[in-house]
Structure 1
Amino acid sequence: MLKRAVVDLPLHTGRCPAWLFEKMKRLSRAIMLIIYQEFGRKELLKRLSDPYWFQALGCLLGFDWHSSGLTTTLCGAIKSGLEPHFKELGFYICGGKGKRALSTPKEIEFWGEKLALKSEAFKYITLSRLIARIDNNALQDGFNLYFHTFIFTEDGAWAVIQQGMDENSCYARRYHWSSEEGKDFFSDPHTGIFSVLKREEVLNLVSSDSKEIRASMLLILKENLSNILKEIRSSEKLFFKRAHPLGYEDIPLKVLPKIWERTYANPPQDFKDLLLTPGLGAKALRALTLTAELIFDAKASRIDPLHYAYAHGGKDGYPYKVNRRIYENTIAELEDILHKAPIATSEKGELLKKLPSLFR
């Protein structure tokens, strides 16, 4: 049973020291290859999509245990270490922080062309955009995405790790996703929830409890806008006078005509289409949600979807400074295990033969 998790981490400024990043790259590469060799790429993907395992790996590699930089630095180290050997591994990591996050579709397209998998690449690009819009727009928890990594394998499995920032609290929240057969993207889709910063109330349109409101939002878009506005204004007198969590000022009437302009010619057939409508962001979804709650008396979930290891110390010296000698010994031990692994008959052994310069 997969755990469901989101991780909140405080913002730490500064950069990872070059010497530590190089060690993180080597050690993470050795760990990734051992998992690949022993269990296969499917297990490797599964572990990266587990927020608890991912967090422990970052701590093992010596990064600040509770820092927002753990996500960006660890993903960067793994990607940098494995990128020259993606084709041999059948394991591809795209995206990153800031501009690199925005370039994720281009990276997926690049590998799709290299592998002659254009149709699969198009599917992954759509998935990448959909998942980003879910965590940025459909799950309105106050964290704006700035980091997005899409991982996929030649077997058709995939995972997403992305992170958002709350500028007011200076905390970051990490979201993990993984591919599952028959996955419902709109019913508690993350692979886990782990947090130290719980919100009293969020708008969670991908909760299983928001099924009715999602259907109601689609129904509204098939109605005449003037009828919707009349319904809202009549409800002001009949409905808002009672004690109710929504006030008339909560319904952004100026936003509704813009939504209809974007969807009138080609109304979305399902919630996925709605999320992928160009120019339809978090504010528009909130307006639709409030309108649907008022007219259909349906309810959207407002429950925050919430539900770890030192080995080499931490970059910031907590709980103690990184011990370079022990760190180097750990890398040497794991690399030695890889070199001594039987390679005569196994397919994984053939992979290692193709990577003679891996640890130079």
Structure 2
Amino acid sequence: FSDKGSWCVIQQGMNADNLYARRYHWFSKNLSSFILEPHSAILGSRDNKPVLDMTSRESVETQKMSVDLINDDPRHLQRDLLSLLKPSTQKTLDEFIGQGAEMKIPYLDMPRYINWNKLRKIYEFQPGNYEEFLSLDGVGPATVRALALISDLIYGTKPSWMDPVKYSFAVGGKDGVPFPVDKIAMDETIEILKQGVEEAYIGKREKMMALKRLRKIIPHSYEEKHN
């Protein structure tokens, strides 16, 4: 936090299944909404498919529908939800296709348990928008997924299935994850960036400023090697 009220937050989450981490960057200067693409960056070593991204601009209509659903009679929501649950005796097409086939159909991992008492309290509160809805006690991933599923399959408001992560560690990580640092590739990348700035059709002052910004992220070992 700065004296002028600016702030920056970096969160890290770990996928318990594959043990890969990703970092979520928040910067107040670029933030206009907490529910509409709020992150300055989401960094990780791999993307996942499919991923439900309710902060995407493509999910705005699903956000609105989720609020409409939660503000409706919970009995209607329960009816819609139960209509989407697959009976244990029912087979699906992917079971007939086989495990080896690559399924490109987006899907939602339907939660098997919903706290209807919590949803009833949220209904009584009547949240005015999606941000207010998310801030309420009891709203978690299962509730978000359930509402997104109903919004998509019954009411046709499709959310985004694109993982918003941006790749990092392009030349490796210092701890060897996901692979050791490729120093040659790192040096070549720096040279390309430096050459691009020097040959750009911009003023001398702009070039100097760009080179200074580039120098801030260049390792000291590179400068010692090339000076």
Q: Tell me the TM-score range normalised by the shorter chain.
A: 0.5 to 0.7
1:281 paired residue among 123, 134, 140: 140
One-letter code aligned to 1:155: K
Distance 1:259 1:296, change over 3 A: farther
**Which residue of the other structure, out of 41, 64, 68, is the alignment partner of 1:192?**
41
Q: Which residue of 2 aligns with 1:301?
A: 160
Q: Is the 8 A contact 2:111 2:146 kept in 1?
A: yes
Q: Deviations over 1:212-258 (max 9, x none)?
A: 00000000012112223334556789xxx9988569xx654741624
Structure 2 alignment gaps of length 5 or more:
94-104, 183-227
Structure-1 separation of matches of 2:31 and 2:20: 33
Instruction: Kindly provide the CA deviation profile for residues 155-181 of structure 1, in whole angstroms up to 9, marking residues without a partner as x.
Output: 011111110011221211111110136
2:12 aligned residue? 163
Letter of the 1:220 partner, please give it.
L
Distance 1:256 1:297 in 2: 24
> Which residue is equivalent to 2:129?
270
Report the TM-score, using the length of structure 1 for normalisation.
0.39
How far has the Cα of 1:193 moved from its partner?
4.0
Counterpart Cα distance in 2 of 1:236 and 1:283: 14
C-alpha distance in structure 2 between counterparts of 1:181 and 1:190, whole Å: 8
Secondary structure of 1:265's aligned partner: helix
Counterpart CA distance in 2 for 1:284 and 1:257 is 10
Alignment of 1:55-94 (within 5 A): none
Q: Which has the higher helix share?
A: 1
Contact 2:23 2:42 in 1 (8 A): no
Q: CA deviation at 1:304?
A: 0.4
**Normalising by the residue count of structure 2, what TM-score does the alignment of the two structures yield?**
0.59
Pairing of 1:187-336 with structure 2 (within 5 A): 187-232=36-81, 251-252=110-111, 254-255=113-114, 257-307=116-166
| Whole-angstrom distance in 2 between the partners of 1:272 and 1:221 | 13
Matched ranges for 1:55-134 at <5 A: none
CA RMSD of aligned residues (A): 3.6
Question: Quick check: 2:24–2:43 contact (8 Å CA) kept in 1?
Answer: no
1:59-95 deviation digits (Å, cap 9, x = unpaired): xxxxxxxxxxxxxxxxxxxxxxxxxxxxxxxxxxxxx
Name the CA distance, whole Å, in 2 between partners of 1:169 and 1:227.
38
**Take 2:130 and 2:151, find their aligned partners in 1: how far apart are those partners?**
14
Give the 3 Å change call, closer, same or farther, for CA 227–167 of structure 1 in structure 2.
closer
Q: 1:179 aligns with which of 28, 31, 50?
A: 28
**Structure 1 match to 2:188:** none
What whole-Å deviation, never above 9, does each CA across 1:94-140 have from its counterpart, x for those lacking one? xxxxxxxxxxxxxxxxxxxxxxxxxxxxxxxxxxxxxxxxxxxxxxx
Q: C-alpha separation between the residues in 2 aligned to 1:234 and 1:164? A: 33
Aligned partner of 2:58: which letter?
D
Give me the identity figure in percent.
30
The structure-2 alpha-carbon separation of the partners of 1:259 and 1:286, relative to structure 1 and needing over 3 Å to count, comes to farther
Classify 1:319/1:269 alpha carbon distance in 2 versus 1 (closer, same or farther; 3 Å).
Answer: closer
Shift of the 159–251 alpha-carbon distance from structure 1 to 2, 3 Å rule, reads: same
Q: Does the 8 A contact of 1:186 with 1:208 survive in 2?
A: no
What amino acid is the match of 1:162?
Q
Q: Give the SS at the match of 1:177.
A: strand
